[in-house]
Amino acid sequence: MCWPSAKGAVKEAMASFFDSDSPSNLTEYSVSELSGSIKRTVEQAFDQVRVRGEISGYRGPHSSGHAYFALKDDRARIDAVIWKGTFSRLRFRPEEGMEVIATGKVTTFPGSSKYQIVIESMEPAGAGALMALLEERKRKLAAEGLFDAGRKRPLPYMPKVIGVVTSPTGAVIRDILHRIADRFPVHVVVWPVRVQGDGSGDEVAAAIRGFNAIEPGGAMARPDVLIVARGGGSLEDLWGFNDEAVVRAAAASEIPLISAVGHETDWTLIDYAADQRAPTPTGAAEMAVPVKADLEAAISGLSARLKAAVGRQMDNRRQAVRSLARALPSLDQLLALPRRRFDEAALGLGRGLQMNTANKRRQFERVSTELRADLLKGKLSDRRQRIADFMNRAERIVERQVHRGEARVSAADAALRTLPSRLLGQIHRATDRVAGLAARSDAAVRADVRRLRSVIVAQDRILQSLSYRNVLQRGFALVRDAEGGPVRQAAAVTAGMALSLEFADGRVSAIAGEGSGEPVPQPPTPRKKQSKSPEPSGETPKQGTLF
């Protein structure tokens, strides 16, 4: 126990303090001397203390790397500091409210005379406390749905690139690489991290995010699956993998993630957020890649089965064709039945003929026994009699025919005898008819001639009455020009124009004079009375010659 000794030291110091001076002549110390004395005393008295308390006011390490907070219990508190060097050696990450057992020394700063404990090592106050913290955090993250089964994605069957987040040295990465090489050597990319101590969680989370940030097809290969691995250790050793940042990064990882932290019995929160939890790093490698040899064997097995199956298919079909071909009856078989029928029929033909002949023969023999000469004789006389009867009847018929013929001949003969006189009479009658007809024909022709002549006379009369000559007869003249065309108007006549004047009794040539009106006194040609033209009188005898 250090408390009594510490108290003693204080008393001692106080005693010397008072001894040096009476109340009236107390030695005067400077503040620095006093503070320095206190510091010495405190540091001597509390050089190595072990204190249990709850972390309070923890805000993580300062930018300098030191951590400042306080330890408290229900009645008191003491400031605490963890220097940078110590902090990095801590096996777990301090958290607000965590009950811890800290070992260190108490010291004061003369500058402010505040005392504090400088922690050299610290551990959680028993597994129970850590477990309670873990449970609490697990409940909280589970409530956010980070552990939901629906979030889990299947691992790729045959990844080309595997990303491993772990320490680049040590047994874990070696085990993983060996197992992967054994099963299916693929491209492995290791993201080196610290897997223990404060800050390890942040590194692991950053590594998970970093792998996810690699663009597909970029300079660095983007993994198809991630393994986050760490070997076995105490709860404190594995504490980094309970870090909220790690859990969130694992849950958010787009690349399927296998967690393999600690031994099979060690559960950390990343295991709940991972898509698969492997019991060991080796197990993670087994989950990540199939066994290449197995695949090759399976492929060649399938290939062999494929060949065999298709071969068998062909065989089966060949077999089927063959048996069908066998089942197909041969031509001989096909013809056997008809042939047999034919043979039987052919056989029957001969036999039938024989039987038929025999039958007929029997019939003939039966009939022939009845055929006797007297039978024939009777039949013959019968026929003879009938023939005689026929002969008689034929004779009579012929006689009758002859008589009928003779009567018709004599009748025809008598008719022939009267024929000349009958023909003569007919000739006479015909001659009379011809004479009559001739007489009638003459009379008819004459009457016709008379009628036609009278028609002609009448027509001529009409013609004569219509002729311009009749006008000429009445003393008019027809004026013609040189061409013989009639001149109808005085305007058509010019002086000196040759004209021809036609009168009833003939034509006179004339020359047209100057002016109009009366002709120059010149003894006019006396109009001769035109006697009847001899032409019409001559027409009648001419016409008479027509007949």
Partner 1 sequence: MNTTTQPDVSTLSFEQAVEELERIVSALERGDVALDKSIEIYERGEALKKHCEALLKAAEDRIEKIRLDRAGKPQGVEPLDAD
Query: Which chain residues interact with partner 1 by CB under 8 A?
Result: 157-158, 160, 168-169, 173-174, 177, 181, 184-192, 203, 206-207, 210, 214, 219-221, 292, 295-296, 298-299, 302-303, 305-306, 309-310, 312-313, 316-317
Q: How crowded is residue 104: how many other Cβ atoms within 10 Å of its Cβ? A: 23
Angle, vertex CA 183, rays to CA 179 and CA 185, nearest 5: 90
Closest CB 169 distance from partner 1, rounded Å: 8
Contact 248, 269 (CB under 8 A): no
Choose between 14 and 304: whose C-beta lies nearer to partner 1. 304
- CA angle (374, 380, 383) in 5-degree steps: 150
> Residue 320 CB, nearest distance to partner 1 (Å)?
11
Is there a contact between 191 and 211 (Cβ–Cβ < 8 Å)?
Answer: yes
Min CB(160)–partner 1 separation in Å: 7
- Residue 80 Cβ, how far from partner 1 at the closest point, in Å? 29
Closest approach, Cβ 83 to partner 1, in A, equals 22
Residue found under tokens 């902090």: 87
* Short-list 149, 217, 157, 147, CA closest to 186: 157
End-to-end CA distance of the chain: 204
- Of the pair 69, 211, the CB lying nearest partner 1 is at 211
Strand order in the sheet with 478-481: 478-481, 498-503, 506-511
Reading the block at residue 125, the tokens are 């106050």
Q: Which is nearer to partner 1, 310 or 411 (CB)?
A: 310
Listed residue (115, 107, 63) closest to 87, CA to CA: 63
Is 241 strand, coil or helix? helix
Give me the least distance between CB of 292 and partner 1, in Å please. 6
Q: Which is nearer to partner 1, 70 or 214 (CB)?
A: 214
**Of residues 117 and 173, the one with the C-beta less far from partner 1:** 173
Let me know how many helices (H) and strands (E) the chain has, helices first: 14, 13
Residue with Cβ nearer partner 1 (206 or 477): 206
Question: Nearer Cβ to partner 1, position 53 or 163?
Answer: 163
Judge whether 262 and 232 are in contact, CB under 8 Å.
yes
- Residue 369 carries which side chain, given as an amino acid letter? T
Q: Which is nearer to partner 1, 163 or 283 (CB)?
A: 163
Residue number, 306 or 447, with CB nearest to partner 1: 306
Decide whether 187 or 404 has the Cβ nearer to partner 1. 187
250 close to 118: Cβ distance less than 8 angstroms: no
CA distance 431 to 8: 215
Element containing residue 70 per DSSP (H, E): strand 67-72
Q: Are 479 and 500 in contact, with CB atoms under 8 Å apart?
A: yes
The distance of closest approach from Cβ of residue 31 to partner 1 in the complex, given in angstroms and rounded to an integer, is 44
The two three-digit tokens of residue 168, written as one number: 């680049």
| Closest distance of CB 187 from partner 1, Å | 4
Provide CB contacts within 8 A for 72, sequence distance 6+.
53, 54, 56, 78
Listed residue (305, 313, 209, 304) closest to 253, CA to CA: 209
- Find the shortest distance in angstroms from Cβ 308 to partner 1: 8
Per the DSSP assignment, residues forming a β-bridge with 498 are 511
- Residue nearer to partner 1 on the CB measure, 80 or 165: 165
Output the smallest distance, CB 207 to partner 1, in A. Answer: 8
Nearest approach, Cβ of residue 274 and partner 1 (Å): 20
**Cα separation of 206 and 228, whole Å?**
12
Q: Which tokens go with 333? A: 């078989």
